Chain A
Amino acid sequence: MRYPLPTLLAVLTFLAPSWAWADWPQFRGPNGNGSIAGNDKLPAELSKKTIAWKAPLPGRGLGSPIIVGDRVVVTAASGPEQNLLQVLCFSKSDGKELWRRSFWATGRTMCHAKTCVAAPTPTSDGKRIFALWSSNDLICLDLEGNLIWMRGLTLDYPNASNSLGMASSPIVVGDTLVAQIENDSESFAAGFDLVTGANKWKIDRPKTANWTTPVVLKSGGELIVALQSSKGVLGVQPATGSEIWNYSKGAATIPSGAVAGDTLYFPSKGLTAMRPGSGGGETKPLWNERAQNPATASPLIIDDKVYIINGTGVLSAASRETGERLWRIRLKGPFSGSPVASGNGHLYIFNEKGIGQVVDLSGEEGKVVSEIELGETIIGTASISGNALYIRSDETLWKFGLPR
């Protein structure tokens, strides 16, 4: 039997896991856990030799670059009060700026000096870019930079803001954009229509500042969005916001959870793992390991291990199965960004001083094998795609890759 090529490609695309796109479409990668398969030729050395290109940025930002096809997209905020919100699109191959769009913030832009208004990482469904800022301006552009829709969530919900700054990143799940707009006052999570930006659902959330990003896991055969907060983790249907399960024993409000398949590893009383079933109701943990205590950085999952970085800059590897610590090494901190990794057996992390560190994960314990000092503040997390690593500092977007 012969099939037309487009049909075959369509079927293969449908069957392929998300990482097969080779894109990095959201905060901490396609799986939301910091890792991406493949990318075996990602350089283990970060040095001048492996800087493929760098591009100047017009304003600060903490959000990671996302990679969509041949494009790298980052957000920024500029102006004395960070009122000018920007989306910048670069060519993946040479760093040329393809387009730039600027928007006037419609919400409050006050935030702590360490963070900034461009704190959330944008996301993409492969056809559109969705960008959120601390001002709660939510914007959808096509890949050419044409505006598809805009929401001013603080216009709609005037007390939805955090004077320290918002930082949760939106994610795309199916045909819904999910965002946690959680704060001390008008706190909510919502699902937005990808095409129109209209609310598909909106639910009240705990009235507590929360900077965590939602993650997606398989639960009872369907994709469920896990919304983490100080109260715990709530599993909801992405299309409706309906509650599927709940974990009510509390969780962190800065580091986010990480998912591997049907299991969620999240910061709660140290690190907790759980595998919610389809039965609904209160979910019990598989294990809890108090010694594994993520600070600002979110956990990284790769293969059979989960990696966390604590408040003193110690990187620990633990068994995904039991939570047992396997090894730990001290890195040069402090860290606000999270570690990332690919199939090349190395972990990448940048500290706040702009020092990038590469940890070889192949031995009995981790070993720092490369360092680079970029000379600019870095509060964000790197991205990986096409055997290259992307990181944004306060003023520059960097690409690392093996020389051609």
Chain B
Amino acid sequence: MQPVNPQLTRRRFIKGVIASGAVAGTTSLWYAANGQSRPAGAVERMIRLNVNGQDRTVDVAPQETLASTLRYKLGLTGTKLGCNRGECGACTVLVDDVPTYACSVLTHSFKDGRIETVEGLEAPDGTLHPVQQGFVDALGPQCGYCTPGQVMAAVGLLRANPNPTREEARMGLAGNICRCGSYDSYLDGVMRAAEIG
């Protein structure tokens, strides 16, 4: 079996965990992480992010999570917050092709990163990304709330492993919960995406 994502190194994972611990420890800190506050300090606030291929200059608080920046500063509400503490995967985005829980990393950590959200997958003419089309063909979504995260996890998987086995797809998406239980249909969608991709 191929690694789920060769770019997700142990070092990178540990760094992510440390960052998530810094921001997602308690409920109240979530709101601190929304970037709504204006704490004093000399930390650079206006930073440039590359999101869906575009450079965006954003006012980002030091303790702000990537999910908050995407949703509340850039209006990219396709990235969902299901748990806001790294349990469900609804907020999954790609950072340099690596599926990343946007609720559990600090935006400031990704000033040099290439961030992709579900909104960036469609072609300019409206053609769906193969994963999106695969999910439509297989009717992967049920309630749809976890779907953007499932889509991004699947895109990350297929970039690392364009022709996964069903078992590999299952492992690749294992960080994304679907409370409706649509796992079987999502896996159908991933396999379909690999076919049409």
Q: Do A and B come from one complex?
A: no
Q: Which residues of A contact B (CB under 8 A)?
A: none
